[in-house]
Structure 1
Amino acid sequence: MTPEQAEDIRQLLHNEEHVLASLNAEIKEATALLEKITRDRDALQEIIVGKSGPHMAALRAGIEEKEKELRRVQKESKAVKASWDRMCRERGMVAESDPDLLKHLDFELELCRQTVQRLQNEEDSVQVSLDSQRSALSPIRRLPLEILSEIFKLCLPGSYIIPKSRSAPLLLTQVCGSWRRLALSIPQLWSSISVEVTVQRCRPPLPLIELWLQRSMTQPLSFAITELEQEDAREIADPVTAASILKTFVPAHHRWASVKLEYHDWRWPSGLEQLPQDALLDSLEKLDLQREYWFKDDFPDLKRILQASRLHDLTWHSRSPPSDYLQIVNILQLTHLDLVRPVSKDVFLDVLSGCRAIESCTFFVQLVGRIPDDSNHPLDTSPIVLPHLHTFELTVDMALTTLLSRLVFSSLTTLQINRLDEFFLINPINAPHFWDQEEVNAFLVRSQCSLRTLDVRDVEISSAELLDVLKFTSPTLQQLNITNERAKDNCITDDVVRALTASSSSSDPAFLCPQLDYLKLWRCVSSTDGLLADMVQSRWLPREEDTAKRMRLVIILLRDEECHATDVARLKEFHRRRPGITLVRR
């Protein structure tokens, strides 16, 4: 054999060894997977056997015996009670002149009373034993603790099982001993609490709040403290306020993740002054502050909390100008901003221009009484592009004109526009037309967004203007809410209703918003009686050839039901055939 042949053979063996090692590794992985599948199968088989195996059969037999025993005891108890009643009646008819007979009846009554008590105790004991055995038969009692703990975590506030519930952990501890022990061992269950405060007390009581915090251990904290409307706290010697309760949470400030503070009396300290001077609040992500006024002395305290490095969700509800405080916040990282109180147009645009990461925002822009900017600085017309904004809620007190002219929201899916009625009620003659169709069209064209929800409230929009908006948003619109609580004009006319009535043509449907699945029409309908019902029927009970999506919810409040008698009768019939249509009546 030549050296070249020997080298070839060695290389071949090396390759074979490499292939063999790869196969062994695959076999090892397959073996581990097989073992896991086998364990899962065994666990499932255990559950199946547990439901029908010898142990469960014996448990069911025991339950049947206890049920028989319970029925026997209840029957005996009923008979003894009947004897008791009979002897009581007999004793009432015996004359006082026959003491021997009275003494005998009293003796019998005492024996009967003792028998009733014994049977009652026996019935209680059997019932407790029966309840215990029945609970053992429940499938949830056979779940592993790891799975049960994950189910418990779904009961956290904000989850889809028990939304916003703050008492779920306490309820879990009251079911049984094993649930109590498990609930106490899960700190996440105790990491969220809501406190309501009056000048006399707080709910839950302070000792329970302290215990709650102790059980949360090192988990991030979410808490809300709300002062309820109450009498003047200055007349109480030692009043309970939001500040006095906040003191309990201050030692755990490094764990604050979501904080809501709602004050009723702004004249009292906020409690934020209790935070350490070097408090960083590195865990704080969500902050909701509701207080009528803030003083200049509050600025250092607010600065500590508004400068939290991870704060990205802010709600500011105060008459104090938000512009004085928003300069503290790193608005570049804000994803959610809710300014409940009014701001000027300039503040509105300035804040928006800085919120490059914003995803959802709410503004109230006040134009009436604001002094226009008469400076010599050139007017800024540069576009405000917010590529991540999907929800935009805007309330305006006078007119929509010029407010949307610089905005570009390419990801916008929810648009809500509200008109504040204050100016229109004070000076209805000089009130300008609120809705600016040219402004809205230009905004939608610039943004090129796929709007799914359109919500307009008291905006004094005409039927032609509404049709224009619906035509532009028609391909993607899924939810439409038109609320007209006070405006005189009803924009849902025959033209709008016919345009929304589904067509059976699949090639080129003539109707608008084929994806609509939620519709709310609130005191805004002026269509001919019967047309509204035709439109709802075409989307609520569509025929096979209809191309519209079936709506899931319809809410309607008619301004004058007498003018829509046919609509009302038919809508009630549609709801009877398929529930989900609500006719609100006043």
Structure 2
Amino acid sequence: MRRLPAESWMNIFTEVCSSDENALSATYRKITAPPIALSHVCSRWREIINNLPQLWTSISVDMYNLQADVRNLVTLFGKRSKGHSLKIQIHHQYPLRAAHRPMITSKSRRAFRALLAHAHQCGELHFELSAEETRALKSSDLIFSFPRLRTFDCHTDLVSTLEHGWLFDSLRRGLPSLEVFRVETALGTDVIPYPQLTTLSIDGHRGACWLLEVLRTCRSLRSLTIGFETASEEEDEEEFAPVVLPDLRKFSVRVAETFPCSVLAPLCSTLSLPSLESLEIASAPDPDDDDEWPPSLPTMIQSASATLRELSFRSHGKLSYPLNEILRSCPSLACISFWEECQGLDSTFVHDIFTILTISPSASSAAVAVAPRLTHLKLHFSQWHGLRRVEGLRILSMAESRARNRLVILGLDPVVVALQDVRILYDCYVPHAKLLRCPLEHTALKERVDALANENTYLSISSAN
């Protein structure tokens, strides 16, 4: 072992330390610090580890009932990081059996002050404390700033409750390096430099009017995640000025449980996404309601038709989709994914998917092929019976129509790309579902499935139960 060069030890130590999420982790139960543990083995290891500042750059402290004084450890890690940016995680994970009031100890307050003393070095801050817990720490006399902060995460009620508190006063002092901002409720434009953000995630917002006002300032966004937990009938009918996000590549939208999909209407009718590559929309409307996607949804998707490569829908309701309009308007789609809780493989919706995607044997032009760049199709459904032969044949026929040999015969290759992977997963809510044999496993159909595999088109149908 002594003959191993220092470079090899560096790789080994880096791998060992990366197995823990943080280089230093302190809770009321224990303290773990892999770099310190390794440095205690021998003087040579200590010398090598002390010269690897990247191993000392992540600190996590749980403020709940903290009994150990971790100030010296925090100071040590700040020193050993040698000026590298720190990732600091401050959270409060009290057990379910604990009393409601936060158990903030004097050690918690000291640790908190020690962590904030390194705010100038912090490049990534995960601040998972509630407003009540933050008040209990009583650090209003601290003055600090985050000149190197690149990522800020806070998924508690802190933002909405203490927007004008001491923490956000420090944010107002300037965030010249901030690029990633993930919060429960977004702060106003007077606090956060939205024009420089590349990633924005908002769990819930204060209405479409406020949200669109924020998005108008987000000129550099590449990734956007929005949760809808409020609804306003007045906003549904209100007209908003267009909002263009020219650099946005990834967009994810989640509608809260039982909220109608109509809450998306202001967003869909206003946003233009000319560079969008990936879109995911999740909803959970009341299954007893006749809910529909807003008519403006295809319009928003069409604004990204030239670049959109991945499209994903996740729904817990019986929604009807403007499939034909959406799929025909997006020639660049390479991956399509549907996850449906309340619709089965025998539904009209699923029948329409395979009908639209199937290329006719008499097709003479690539113009008749929907989604000509499609290579991956993934469907996840609920089923109240085993997969029927007619359903299996429908899936198989669609896959065969987009396999390479068929495309060559029709003269559509390479304008239409061969399908590579079709995965159908269904939750079968019947007794002994695993004993139900998939019809594609029967000899005649299995030979056709194997023939597809020989063309590098793989078809998989299975039950999740």
State TM-score, norm by structure 1: 0.60
Q: Retained in 2: the 8 A contact 1:523–1:558?
A: yes
Bigger helix fraction? 1
Q: Which residue of 2 aligns with 1:531?
A: 393
What secondary structure does 2:105 align onto? coil
Percent identity between the two aligned chains? 19
Q: Does 1:310 align with 2:183?
A: no
Q: Which residue of 1 aligns with 2:51?
A: 185
Bigger strand fraction? 2
Shift of 1:195: 4.1
Change (3 A) 1:405 1:228: same
* 1:107-147 residue CA offsets vs partner (Å, 9 max, x unmatched): xxxxxxxxxxxxxxxxxxxxxxxxx5xx85xxxx35x73x8
Q: Retained in 2: the 8 A contact 1:190–1:215?
A: yes
Q: Quick check: 517-526 or 544-553, which moved more?
A: 544-553
What secondary structure does 1:403 align onto? helix
The match for 1:409 among 273, 278, 288 is 273
The match for 1:481 among 337, 358, 376 is 337
* 1:32-51 residue CA offsets vs partner (Å, 9 max, x unmatched): xxxxxxxxxxxxxxxxxxxx
Shift of 1:344: 1.1
How many pairs does the alignment contain?
424
The match for 2:324 among 449, 467, 487 is 467
Q: Which residue of 2 aligns with 1:520?
A: 378
Q: Does 1:253 align with 2:112?
A: no
Tell me the distance in 1 between the aligned counterparts of 2:82 and 2:428: 56
* 1:60-95 residue CA offsets vs partner (Å, 9 max, x unmatched): xxxxxxxxxxxxxxxxxxxxxxxxxxxxxxxxxxxx
Give the alignment of 1:114-513 within 5 angstroms. Answer: 132=1, 141=4, 145=7, 149=10, 166=23, 181-196=47-62, 198-199=64-65, 208-230=73-95, 231-232=98-99, 234=101, 238=105, 245-263=111-129, 266-269=131-134, 274=139, 278-293=143-158, 295-296=161-162, 299-305=165-171, 307-317=174-184, 322=186, 325-368=188-231, 370=232, 372=234, 381-396=240-255, 397-398=259-260, 399=262, 400-421=264-285, 424=286, 428=288, 431=289, 433-436=291-294, 438-458=295-315, 465-473=322-330, 475-486=331-342, 490=347, 492-501=349-358, 508=366, 511-513=369-371
What secondary structure does 2:120 align onto? helix
Q: Which residue of 2 aligns with 1:583?
A: 462
State TM-score, norm by structure 2: 0.73
Change (3 A) 1:235 1:476: closer
Q: Retained in 1: the 8 A contact 2:310–2:333?
A: yes
Name the aligned partner's letter for residue 252 of structure 1: H
Change (3 A) 1:176 1:510: farther
Shift of 1:187: 0.7
Work out which structure has the larger RCO, using CA pairs closer than 8 Å and 6 or more positions apart in sequence: 2
- Structure 1 unaligned runs (5+)? 1-131
Q: Does 1:565 align with 2:438?
A: yes
Tell me the distance in 1 between the aligned counterparts of 2:11 and 2:118: 26
Q: Retained in 1: the 8 A contact 2:71–2:110?
A: no
Change (3 A) 1:155 1:373: same
CA RMSD of aligned residues (A): 4.6
Name the aligned partner's letter for residue 84 of structure 2: Q
* 1:381-439 residue CA offsets vs partner (Å, 9 max, x unmatched): 43111101111112233213343112111111111112243xx26xx3xx453213x41
Name the aligned partner's letter for residue 395 of structure 1: R
Shift of 1:266: 3.9
Q: Retained in 2: the 8 A contact 1:272–1:301?
A: no
Change (3 A) 1:565 1:583: closer
- Structure 2 unaligned runs (5+)? 24-32
Tell me the distance in 1 between the aligned counterparts of 2:453 and 2:61: 42
Name the aligned partner's letter for residue 344 of structure 1: G
What secondary structure does 2:115 align onto? helix
Q: Retained in 2: the 8 A contact 1:441–1:469?
A: yes
Change (3 A) 1:280 1:225: closer
Change (3 A) 1:341 1:463: closer
What secondary structure does 2:328 align onto? helix
Tell me the distance in 1 between the aligned counterparts of 2:77 and 2:399: 53
Q: Retained in 2: the 8 A contact 1:519–1:553?
A: yes
Shift of 1:441: 2.6
* 1:239-279 residue CA offsets vs partner (Å, 9 max, x unmatched): 875x654323122111011100112x542225886377552
Q: Retained in 2: the 8 A contact 1:332–1:355?
A: yes
